[in-house]
Amino acid sequence: MNFSFSEPINLVGLAAVLLQLALTVGVILRVMLTRHPPGSSFAWILLTTILPYFGFILYLLFGERTLGRWHERKLRKEMRKRRQIFRHIMHTEAMAPENYRNISKLATRLGKFPLTKKSSLRLLDDSEETLTLLVNDIDNAKELITMEFYIWDVGGKADDVSAALIRAARRGVQCYVLVDAIGSSRFLSSDWARMFRYEGIHLESALPVSLFSALLCRADIRLHRKIAVIDQKIAYSGSLNMADPHYFKRNANVGQWVDAMVRAKGEIVSSLYHLIHFDWKVLTYSEITFPEFKNSAVVEFDMPDQATVMIVPSGPGTTNDANQRLIIEAIHQAKKSIEIVSPYFIPGEALALALQNAALKGVQVTLILPRKSDSIMVNYAAQRYFDELLKSGVHIKLYEKGMLHTKSVTIDGELSLFGTVNMDMRSMHLNYELMLLVFDKGFSQKVSALNASYAESSSEINLFQWYKRSVFVRMKEGASYLLSPLL
């Protein structure tokens, strides 16, 4: 038999086809055997079918919510400690107003933190004011400062905070700073990080990434929380990263970032402190002993009114999808109004349907989103949901004066969810996030007033005008929507 010169090439081609088929089938079978949301499963199968080698590698790196065995062991250990510390949480759910007891019960079971009655919350809607107050609190610190942020940036007021921490360390205050390894990579390689360590500030990176670790656990699971606790008496949390909006992402062409934070005193400070402690122990390789919380008989307040509030953290290995469950339950409970502010909006079918049902029942549903986002694909994926929402009667307003980054949900002017959670797949299912669940009319009214100020600088989408957008735009929306579970 005579063999042509091209036969070896054909054999190589056949092997490549068989390998491609094996990789595609392997991913499909793995997706079918692993619990993914349906949209996410479809997106992975589509990506692997179209780009088999690339899709297979991406699935190995990002396909499943895994922290690696070492982190998982530490997480289970610290979760047991948390349950022991807050053994009384089931006795606190009755502190909520009677009409919200179901949400309170759900939140305590999901978040594993107690509902607190004696806490004061001051809403801060100006980033410069927030950072100035934080610097002042750091300068007045006597014993201990603990902080964790997704992004710690360099420049402007962020440098003022860094300088204040160094001053505190020099006068003998213990300082512990935890930042996300990816979100704060610029800071971790800066002179500020070297000065922190030189001055005795304990600086650690959460969820560090290397080539080896990427093969064992997902590299895109991130610590997205923002918390600062001063002397175990004052706490900050909300949407603001440690970044000056005058300096942060100036080349992104989205305008200044607009954020909101809470300055808290009272019982809620203990919960926020314990959460930083938990993250330090679970998400880092640090062997440094983290100080225990000192219970104080004296509880200080910022304001005369005292809110009933609890924290609801979420993330892989804890209570999965805690914030998504809580937001959907809050939407179902709404009788008059729902206000949602979010920089990124890819809600998924469950949340989108809940919003449509609320609007169809006569609840006034208002979404306030940024006109421009720093992610073009997220923008187009969000628009894919607009048609059905608008037809159901949901009001969608696009903020025009910058990158609106505040994250809040307000129900009937009485209940608020406020923190770091975006209305997207990453926040709902993947990252380590935090929301404050607040049962307080006074605080909710302040959040609603802030939402009204955002609405004044926004333009509302008209359904009939929306239908006139081009076919090309609709195609980009559709393509982004197909990949939205992976964004």
Q: Are 391 and 452 in contact (CB under 8 A)?
A: no
* Tokens standing for residue 410: 């307000």
Contact yes or no for 428/352 (Cβ under 8 A): no
Residue 374, token pair as written in the block: 């720093």
Catalytic site residue 231?
Answer: yes
SS3 442: helix
Catalytic residue, chosen from 71, 226, 265, 429, is 226
Alpha-carbon gap, residue 5 to 336, rounded angstroms: 77
User: Which residues contact residue 320 at a Cβ distance below 8 angstroms, ignoring those fewer than 6 apart?
Assistant: 65, 314, 429
322-333 and 101-111 helices cross at what angle (nearest 10)? Answer: 180
The number of beta carbons lying within 10 Å of the beta carbon of residue 371 is: 18
SS3 301: coil
Catalytic residue of the set 36, 74, 202, 224: 224
* Cα–Cα distance, 418 to 307 (Å, whole number): 13
202, 277, 397, 405: which is the annotated catalytic residue? Answer: 405
Catalytic residue (one of 137, 153, 180, 231): 231
401 is catalytic: no
- Chain Cα centroid distance, residue 220: 13
Structure token digits, residue 239: 């949407």
Q: Is 321 helix (H, G, I), strand (E, B) or coil?
A: coil
Mention every residue, 6+ apart, whose C-beta is less than 8 A from residue 117.
Answer: 95, 267, 306, 308
Please confirm, yes or no, whether 224 is among the known catalytic residues. yes
The Cα–Cα gap between 75 and 67 comes to 10
Rg of the chain (C-alpha set): 24
Q: Which residues of 447-477 are buried (b: 16+ CB within 10 A; e: fewer)?
A: bbebbeebbebbeebeeeeeeeeeeeeeebb
Of the residues 407, 429, 446, 476, which is catalytic?
407
User: What tokens appear for 230 in the block?
Assistant: 């001063």
Element housing 265 (H / E): strand 261-266
Taking CA 346 as the corner, what is the angle to CA 186 and CA 427, rounded to the nearest 5 degrees? 50
Catalytic residue among 412, 424, 429, 476: 412
For the chain, how many residues are written? 487
407 is an active site residue = yes
| Residue 267: partners with Cβ closer than 8 Å, 6 or more residues away | 116, 117, 118, 119, 299
395 is catalytic: no
Q: Is 91 a catalytic residue?
A: no
Q: Which residues are designated catalytic?
A: 224, 226, 231, 405, 407, 412
